[in-house]
Amino acid sequence: MFFTKLLILFVIVPVTELYILIEVGKKIGSLTTIGIIILTGIIGAYLVKGQGFMILKKIQNDLNEGIMPGDSLIQGAIILAGGILLLTPGFVTDIIGFIFLIPVSRNIVKKYLLKWLKGKIKEGNFYYREF
């Protein structure tokens, strides 16, 4: 199972992205395609910066009030993943990255991520330690 996930992550996703980039390049031109990739990277970096600072501020406020910032930490992780996806060249990764950065869709992702984590904990495949 782990090998299959690695295969998808490191082989199938890049090959799919490359295929889509080539096909889009044929339709709209290679320079336009490269321009779109650069533009999505710039927009993504700007969004990650803004969203990231907002989450960091929320985490600091929660800690100052003695509240465990669990929700903010999860949102921060999703924003970080979105930023990484936007820096990866390709249209599919860009779409997923933007989904991770838009607050409404990020909350949907967070809901499914929490459901997945709870399932892993129940199965005994995920461990955490309190300090």
pLDDT at residue 21 above 90? yes
Query: How much is the mean pLDDT over the chain?
Result: 89
- The dihedral built from the CA positions of residue 21, 24, 25 and 26, taken in this order, carries a sign that is positive
pLDDT at residue 50 above 70? yes
* Structural domain spans, the chain: 2-123
pLDDT at residue 126 above 80? no
Q: If you average pLDDT over residues 74-83, what whole number do you get?
A: 92
pTM: 0.82
Q: If you average pLDDT over residues 63-84, what whole number do you get?
A: 91
Per-residue confidence (pLDDT) for residue 70, from 0 to 100: 86
Band (127; pLDDT cuts 50, 70, 90) = low
